[in-house]
Structure 1
């Protein structure tokens, strides 16, 4: 049985409806209207999944619309004594079955609008938010059965998702039972849909990761096809790498799985720190030749290095700036797009996909943290810089800082075209790195005309800590432990841009001035 909410008056009306309905046929769906909420009821009469009842399609309507929702109630909360529980039942053609004198639109006292219910056949034709709304009304067994019967529904929805703000609004409209049902029955969807809280996504993605591993173990062990078995083995290894990157429950900082996709080259995002609470959030975006199978652990280690450096600097800065003492950070080892290899490195196709995926991830964070927006920075490497530059040029959101290392070029001509606050755009170019200055994909972000700040990666002595800083050498040397590059990238991510060294004589004077301010 599903569940009911409401006082005795409502339950009596529900009981009357059930008695009447049971004489007409099995009850497929019912909405109990309480003083403060409307809750979907399923499997109420027979204990049978409504979707399996012959000739009956459940209608699902208005789950958990609270009484303070003026958009639905027209500003008036429904009265317990006046509320009439609408009896919702339809045959396979969608026509109401039985007649309690209640319209299918469920117009009750104080309820001025409702989401139209649809048949299971119609459900397969929906997309975007309308599909999400209907999925949110399905009981767990019905939802599981539907997704099993239509395995392309979730991948198609994730490939063309609603705006993150719409997802956030939809998720907030659901009650705890509905969100738990979705997370349990549709972990792939819940875990990878931007706009759903990061903590919920982590739990769903870990469930989806375990399910994906189990299914591929079965395929590898039982498939008669050598091709399918070999593919399953490859994907198993990749998923094992994701498991390793997540560490253990004792890992410090805590790690969470913001996204995971085992198909093809794979995609994943591992978060270090608490994304829901962090004052500073850094996205770490990789470039060419990076795959989940080969680099997710290394990329997560690089993220951990930046995380540790940021924490160390916040601790140091808090000695003279008490406001920074309680600040926290989160760094995302974001591998949310397919990076190019030698066969397609000259094309922008994957950069465009990376642009869209990165923009979606940032918009998801901003939607979740709309009332408490963190300082958001993007640190991008190689081909990832081109994707990141496209994202902050072409999408309508702003970030606080952008750091580019080893960039092959930008479609934007100058910093003025980027949605980055206060011109906080930094460029680092290592010795013996052949990629910078080529402007292969447009203008050179490191050129004077582009207008970005230069970030030194050549090594030296830190004027504040007296630590000897290593130089970055070559195209993949920007994230080495103890390097000047990591120092500067960490400072950019926590808004301490004035402490970023540029490799000139001004560094000393600037640093001394800051120390004595």
Structure 2
């Protein structure tokens, strides 16, 4: 990999002075190295691509980096070869040393015995006394023979001792050569890192020094991630592999990585496991270093996400001149919404295809019930943050009023590019948004695994199309799904409501639906979009899809004598229209008469279905067929 890096850096550097566009072409082919792919290659390619603006000035420095990479590659090879030889020599020397030591021990004993025998013979030969009966005095030849044997043994012993010394010297030499190889490798690595840092320092003036220092380490770690892994799995491995500083360097170098985390979120279950495995100090370091990653990371505690998103929100507000008109509209709307102490910023992604946010109400980390509310067409965050947040807050307040014995949480999710009047008949927006929404639902299950919540989805209009798609992607089943004024179910994705990952309640799927008689737009949208209408009683001449349980939104007098109002149009919240507004198909309900307006039967009944109390729905439930 180092050789490939050096080769392509050299090509890039040689061409910088002549034509910057050539370097862009090279980089756009991922450095031309078929064997180097995956996130590491992408990150490194992006880093080099950013240098083309100052191509001429950076050419000399990158040439130095090429030389350093080449020297490091050669040094690694030599050091490794030297280390391998040293290890082999050490093993051989150690084996020889053991054999030589055994020989010395054996020959030493033999020599001592022969020396003792020689001494006895010499003494007997020199004696003038008559030998004992049965014994003969040794001859001069006997003494000479014994001396030769002793001398031969002494020579063998000396040779064996020399062998021990030689093996010890070879072992020490092998150790010394191994240490030298390591020092050479470390020195070459430092030279490479320093030279590469110098090159990047001059070429990347916008990158802070700690980020430059972390870059080489970051790329090395990323290169170990399988290039064939899915984007979701790659991002999860990235979280596991990098330190907070390295991940911050990655984000600073390639801000688009934040959109990859949004579009291809890692498994929420794995995210929750990773986070719980960090100590508080490490968690704090990640919060400080990469709030833009953590704020939208499904599977993390909502308190963590809220703090991180608030930091990014404040940073964006401090630089309004860099924002688009849509982004400024979102920030202005959030300023009012977040003034509510019960509100939190669950998602915040200003740089998506359109700004995307989610506003939570209640303590989502501890609430007994958590409802995710998805809007329909014309509900991008730039235009709908205030109204959809108010819709979510209305539902939250109604849940608390009707069920004060438990705690509740509601998320007003504006996390997809909602269609307009021209694109509402196209299923693409629903299909695209469904994957992210599914990840958020699984994220609630993951982060609340220790204390599970009742998890529900409420969706309005085209939001029911998107949410139904999402409920075919979730890993975990939700507890209930409530549809208000559905614009129809996409039969390309959902063949039957039984395909949805929704639990049962009292023997039936906990899927609930309502359509007001004066809502003429929803059934028209189903027909125009060739989608299946889940409310057969209002269906036009198109497909219907049974399997839900229907409730009324036509208004009623409750047992306590209070009145809940009828829904008189399609919108979630009603509005006062100008006299000359034709309001085709009652697309906008009168003020106070939308599906999620206060004191409407629709809101009253939806509050019960979303917290697991369908038996309290006014007027009861009717199975749809």
TM-score norm. by structure 2 comes to: 0.56
Q: Does 1:488 pair with 2:605? A: yes
Q: Deviations over 1:283-331 (max 9, x none)?
A: 111000012122111111111111111111113xxxxxxxxx3x10001
Check conservation: 1:386, 1:441, Cα contact below 8 A.
Answer: no
Aligned-partner Cα distance in 2 for 1:255–1:431 = 33
Aligned-partner Cα distance in 1 for 2:321–2:249 = 20
Check conservation: 1:201, 1:258, Cα contact below 8 A.
Answer: yes
Q: Please show how residues 82-97 of structure 1 align to structure 2 within 5 Å.
A: none
In the TM superposition, residue 414 of structure 1 has moved relative to its aligned partner by 3.6
Aligned-partner Cα distance in 2 for 1:144–1:468 = 55
Q: Deviations over 1:472-494 (max 9, x none)?
A: 01111211111000000101122
In the TM superposition, residue 91 of structure 1 has moved relative to its aligned partner by 7.4
Residue aligning to 2:241? 134
Check conservation: 1:256, 1:270, Cα contact below 8 A.
Answer: yes
Aligned-partner Cα distance in 2 for 1:492–1:271 = 19
Residues 1:415 and 1:90: Cα distance change in structure 2 (over 3 Å): farther
Residues 1:239 and 1:466: Cα distance change in structure 2 (over 3 Å): same
Aligned-partner Cα distance in 2 for 1:209–1:149 = 21
Q: Does 1:408 pair with 2:491? A: no
**Aligned equivalent of 1:472, options 567, 570, 577:** 567
Check conservation: 2:244, 2:290, Cα contact below 8 A.
Answer: no
Q: Does 1:461 pair with 2:549? A: no
Q: Does 1:380 pair with 2:476? A: no
Q: Which runs of 5+ in 1 are unaligned?
A: 1-53, 58-86, 98-116, 220-230, 316-324, 507-517
Residues 1:441 and 1:267: Cα distance change in structure 2 (over 3 Å): farther
Residue aligning to 1:308? 397
Residue aligning to 1:429? 515
Counting matched residue pairs gives 375
> RMSD of the TM alignment (CA)?
3.0
Check conservation: 2:551, 2:622, Cα contact below 8 A.
Answer: no
**Aligned equivalent of 2:475, options 372, 379, 396:** 396
Aligned-partner Cα distance in 2 for 1:208–1:257 = 10
Residue aligning to 1:241? 333
TM-score norm. by structure 1 comes to: 0.67
Aligned-partner Cα distance in 2 for 1:175–1:292 = 35
Residue aligning to 1:210? 314
Check conservation: 1:268, 1:334, Cα contact below 8 A.
Answer: yes
Aligned-partner Cα distance in 1 for 2:601–2:536 = 21
Q: Please show how residues 22-421 of structure 1 align to structure 2 within 5 Å.
A: 119-123=217-221, 127-135=234-242, 137-139=243-245, 143-215=247-319, 217-219=320-322, 232-248=324-340, 251=341, 254-263=342-351, 264-315=353-404, 325=405, 327-410=406-489, 411=491, 412-421=494-503
Say which SS state the counterpart of residue 393 (structure 1) adopts. Answer: coil
Deviates most, 198-207 or 289-298: 289-298
Check conservation: 2:439, 2:474, Cα contact below 8 A.
Answer: no
Residue aligning to 1:48? none
Q: Deviations over 1:323-358 (max 9, x none)?
A: xx3x10001111111100123212111101221111
Q: Does 1:450 pair with 2:546? A: yes
Check conservation: 2:481, 2:510, Cα contact below 8 A.
Answer: yes
In the TM superposition, residue 397 of structure 1 has moved relative to its aligned partner by 2.1
Q: Deviations over 1:156-211 (max 9, x none)?
A: 23322211011111112222222212111211101001111110000000001111
Deviates most, 175-184 or 388-397: 388-397
Check conservation: 1:415, 1:451, Cα contact below 8 A.
Answer: yes
Residues 1:436 and 1:90: Cα distance change in structure 2 (over 3 Å): farther
Q: Deviations over 1:380-438 (max 9, x none)?
A: 00100011111223433211111111112112344322222111111111122224443
4+ residue segments displaced more than 4 Å: 54-57, 89-97, 123-126, 502-506
Say which SS state the counterpart of residue 330 (structure 1) adopts. Answer: strand
Say which SS state the counterpart of residue 271 (structure 1) adopts. Answer: strand
Check conservation: 2:248, 2:289, Cα contact below 8 A.
Answer: yes
Check conservation: 1:198, 1:276, Cα contact below 8 A.
Answer: yes
In the TM superposition, residue 240 of structure 1 has moved relative to its aligned partner by 2.0
In the TM superposition, residue 145 of structure 1 has moved relative to its aligned partner by 4.0
Check conservation: 1:286, 1:382, Cα contact below 8 A.
Answer: yes
Check conservation: 1:413, 1:450, Cα contact below 8 A.
Answer: no
Aligned-partner Cα distance in 2 for 1:500–1:151 = 48
Say which SS state the counterpart of residue 485 (structure 1) adopts. Answer: helix
